[in-house]
C-alpha cells in the first residue's frame, strides 16, 4: 500500500516514543509527515504545514487535544481537515466527546500499525473524494451560471433580431402600401377638382333653365319633385367638399407613412429655426383662431438668440407641425371641459452648453395620463377618435429628432394641467458625429 498522492499528515503528541513509531510507519508508506509536541504548536504551525489529516493526542500539557480540536473546528481555514484522536483512555465518554467535537475517528493506544494505516487511508480517501466533489460542484455551478448568462444574452439578441426584422418589414410594407395608395388618391383628388367645376356648370345651366322656363311641362315638373331637386342642388356641393376633405386626409396620411418608412433624404442646410416655427404657426393659423365654442389660442414666443442651425429643415418643420397640432388638439379638448379657460402655447428656444439647441413647446391643455405616457412615441398609438388620430405624429417626430439629427425628444406632462415637449439637437451635425 503506497501513498502515491503524497498526502501530508500532522502528528500532535507529547510522547516522543509514540510519535517516533507513527512517524516511521507513515513515512515508510510514503506520507509526508510532520510532528509537533503540543496543541499550541499545532495551531501555530498549521498554516505552514497545511496537512490533509491530523493525528491528535488527547492528554498533553498546555491545551489538551479536545481544546485543540475545538479551535481547529471553529476556524474556517482548518475546520475541514479530518482529525483522528489517539487516546490511551478507553472510556466510552471520551470517544463520544471526540466525535461530538467533530473528529472523524479515534485510535486507542497502544497503537496497532495496521489499524492506524487502515484508518488513515480511509479518512484520506474520504477527504479527497469530498474535495473533488466540492470542486466539481463549484465547477458545475460556474458552468451553470455561464450557461444562464449566455442564454439570457441569446434571448436578448433574438428579441432584438425579431424586433428589427419586424420593424424593417413593417417599414417596407408601409412604404409599399403608401406608394400604392398614393397614385389612386392623387387621381381622385385631381378629378374632384374637375368634377366640382362640371357640377357647378351643370347647376348654373339648370338655374338658367329655371329662369327662362319657370313653368316646365308636367313630366319635367314631376321629375323635379321626384328627385327633390332643391335638396339635391343644396347638398351636392357639400357632398363634394367632404369628398375633398376625405381625399386630402388620405393624402396626408400617405405622406406621413412615407415620411415614417423612408424619411426622404433631402440635403442638410443651415437654417433659421425661428422662421421654421413661424411658418408652421402660420400654416396652422386657421386652427389657432376662434371657433364657435372655443376661445383663441394665445401663442407666447420666448425666442433666444440663435445661430443658424444645421438640419433637414423640412423634417424639423414637420416635427414642429406634429407637436403643435397635438397641443392644439389638447387645448380644444381642455376647452370642452372648462368654462373659464385661456388656452395658450408657449414656445421657448435657447442654446445650451454652447453646442446644443433646445426648443420647448408647452401647452396648458388636457395633459397626458401616466398610464400611457410611455407609449405616446409608439407608431399608431393614439387616444383620439377613429378618423382623427393616426398615432404617427410623435413616432415620426421622434425618428426625425433622434435618428436624423442625433438629438432627443422628451415629454413632460401632467394630466389636466398641460404638456411640454422638449426638442434638443446639436447646433452642428458634424459635432455630434465627431463625438460618436
> What does the binding site for ligand ADP look like in residue numbers (CB under 6 A)?
322, 326-327, 330, 363, 365-368, 376, 381-384, 389-395, 419
Min dist. Cβ of residue 322 to ligand ADP (A) = 6
Alpha carbon separation from 27 to 47, 297, 427 (Å, rounded): 21, 102, 83
Nearer to ligand ADP among residue 39 and residue 418 (C-beta): 418
Min dist. Cβ of residue 276 to Mg ion (A) = 18
Task: Report the partner that residue 327 touches, choosing among Mg ion, ligand ADP, none (CB closer than 5 to 8 A by kind).
Answer: ligand ADP
Task: Report the partner that residue 383 touches, choosing among Mg ion, ligand ADP, none (CB closer than 5 to 8 A by kind).
Answer: ligand ADP
Q: Name, in order, each residue with C-beta under 8 angstroms of 345's C-beta and a sequence gap of 6 or more.
A: 297, 298, 299, 300, 324, 327, 328, 331, 361, 362, 363
Nearer to ligand ADP among residue 147 and residue 415 (C-beta): 415
Rounded-to-integer distance, Cα 133 and Cα 204, Å: 103
Q: Which residues bind Mg ion (CB under 5 A)?
A: 326, 393
Specify the DSSP class assigned to residue 386. Answer: B
Specify the DSSP class assigned to residue 339. Answer: S
Min dist. Cβ of residue 331 to ligand ADP (A) = 8
User: Which cell goes with 67?
Assistant: 481544546
Q: Are 108 and 35 in contact (CB under 8 A)?
A: no
Min dist. Cβ of residue 232 to ligand ADP (A) = 36
Q: Are 65 and 58 in contact (CB under 8 A)?
A: yes
Task: Report the partner that residue 8 touches, choosing among ligand ADP, Mg ion, none (CB closer than 5 to 8 A by kind).
Answer: none
Task: Report the partner that residue 330 touches, choosing among Mg ion, ligand ADP, none (CB closer than 5 to 8 A by kind).
Answer: ligand ADP
Nearer to ligand ADP among residue 22 and residue 395 (C-beta): 395
Task: Report the partner that residue 391 touches, choosing among ligand ADP, Mg ion, none (CB closer than 5 to 8 A by kind).
Answer: ligand ADP
Rounded-to-integer distance, Cα 73 and Cα 56, Å: 13
Min dist. Cβ of residue 317 to ligand ADP (A) = 15
CA dihedral sign of residues 359, 325, 255, 160: positive
Rounded-to-integer distance, Cα 161 and Cα 115, Å: 68
CA dihedral sign of residues 299, 304, 306, 311: negative
Task: Report the partner that residue 171 touches, choosing among Mg ion, ligand ADP, none (CB closer than 5 to 8 A by kind).
Answer: none
Task: Report the partner that residue 22 touches, choosing among Mg ion, ligand ADP, none (CB closer than 5 to 8 A by kind).
Answer: none
Nearest in space to 391 (alpha carbons), one of 281, 264, 260: 260
Nearer to ligand ADP among residue 220 and residue 415 (C-beta): 415
Phi, psi (rounded to 5 degrees) for 420: -135, 130
Nearer to ligand ADP among residue 42 and residue 368 (C-beta): 368
**SS3 label, residue 422:** strand
Nearest in space to 276 (alpha carbons), one of 232, 246, 318: 318
Task: Report the partner that residue 284 touches, choosing among ligand ADP, Mg ion, none (CB closer than 5 to 8 A by kind).
Answer: none
Nearer to Mg ion among residue 22 and residue 392 (C-beta): 392
Rounded-to-integer distance, Cα 224 and Cα 211, Å: 15
Nearer to Mg ion among residue 326 and residue 429 (C-beta): 326
Nearer to ligand ADP among residue 86 and residue 394 (C-beta): 394
Amino acid at each position: 500500500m503506497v501513498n502515491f498522492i503524497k498526502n501530508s499528515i500532522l502528528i500532535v503528541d507529547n510522547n516522543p516514543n509514540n510519535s517516533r513509531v507513527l512517524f516511521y510507519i507513515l513515512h515508510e508508506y510514503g506520507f509526508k509527515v510532520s510532528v509537533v509536541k503540543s496543541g499550541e504548536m499545532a495551531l501555530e504551525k498549521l498554516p505552514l504545514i497545511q496537512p490533509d489529516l491530523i493525528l491528535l493526542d488527547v492528554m498533553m500539557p498546555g491545551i489538551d487535544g479536545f481544546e485543540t480540536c475545538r479551535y481547529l473546528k471553529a476556524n474556517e481555514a482548518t475546520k475541514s481537515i479530518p482529525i483522528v484522536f489517539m487516546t490511551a483512555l478507553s472510556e466510552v465518554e471520551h470517544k463520544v466527546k471526540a466525535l461530538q467535537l467533530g473528529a472523524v475517528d479515534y485510535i486507542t493506544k497502544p497503537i496497532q500499525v495496521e489499524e492506524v494505516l487502515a484508518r488513515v487511508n480511509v479518512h484520506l480517501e474520504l477527504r479527497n473524494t469530498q474535495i473533488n466533489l466540492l470542486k466539481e460542484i463549484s465547477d458545475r455551478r460556474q458552468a451553470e451560471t455561464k450557461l444562464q448568462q449566455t442564454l439570457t444574452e441569446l434571448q436578448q439578441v433574438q428579441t432584438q433580431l425579431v424586433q428589427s426584422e419586424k420593424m424593417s418589414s413593417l417599414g417596407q410594407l408601409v412604404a409599399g402600401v403608401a406608394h400604392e395608395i398614393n397614385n389612386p388618391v392623387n387621381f381622385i383628388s385631381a378629378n374632384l377638382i374637375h368634377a366640382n367645376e362640371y357640377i357647378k356648370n351643370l347647376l348654373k345651366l339648370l338655374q338658367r333653365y329655371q329662369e327662362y322656363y319657370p313653368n316646365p311641362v308636367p313630366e319635367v315638373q314631376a321629375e323635379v319633385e321626384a328627385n327633390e331637386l332643391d335638396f339635391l342642388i343644396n347638398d351636392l356641393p357639400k357632398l363634394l367638399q367632404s369628398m375633398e376633405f376625405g381625399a386630402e386626409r388620405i393624402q396626408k396620411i400617405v405622406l406621413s407613412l412615407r415620411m415614417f418608412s423612408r424619411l426622404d433624404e433631402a440635403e442638410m442646410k443651415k437654417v433659421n429655426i425661428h422662421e421654421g416655427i413661424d411658418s408652421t404657426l402660420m400654416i396652422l393659423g386657421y386652427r389657432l383662431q376662434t371657433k364657435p365654442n372655443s376661445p383663441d389660442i394665445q401663442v407666447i414666443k420666448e425666442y433666444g438668440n440663435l445661430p443658424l442651425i444645421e438640419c433637414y429643415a423640412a423634417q424639423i418643420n414637420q416635427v414642429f407641425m406634429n407637436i403643435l397640432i397635438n397641443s392644439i388638439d389638447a387645448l380644444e379638448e381642455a376647452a370642452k371641459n372648462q368654462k373659464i379657460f385661456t388656452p395658450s402655447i408657449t414656445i421657448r428656444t435657447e442654446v445650451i452648453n454652447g453646442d446644443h439647441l433646445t426648443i420647448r413647446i408647452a401647452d396648458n391643455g388636457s395633459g397626458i395620463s401616466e398610464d400611457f405616457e410611455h407609449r405616446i412615441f409608439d407608431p399608431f398609438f393614439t387616444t383620439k377618435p377613429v378618423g382623427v388620430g393616426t398615432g404617427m405624429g410623435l413616432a415620426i417626430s421622434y425618428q426625425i429628432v433622434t435618428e436624423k439629427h442625433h438629438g432627443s425628444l422628451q415629454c413632460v406632462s401632467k394630466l389636466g394641467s398641460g404638456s411640454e415637449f422638449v426638442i434638443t439637437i446639436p447646433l452642428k451635425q458634424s459635432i455630434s458625429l465627431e463625438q460618436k
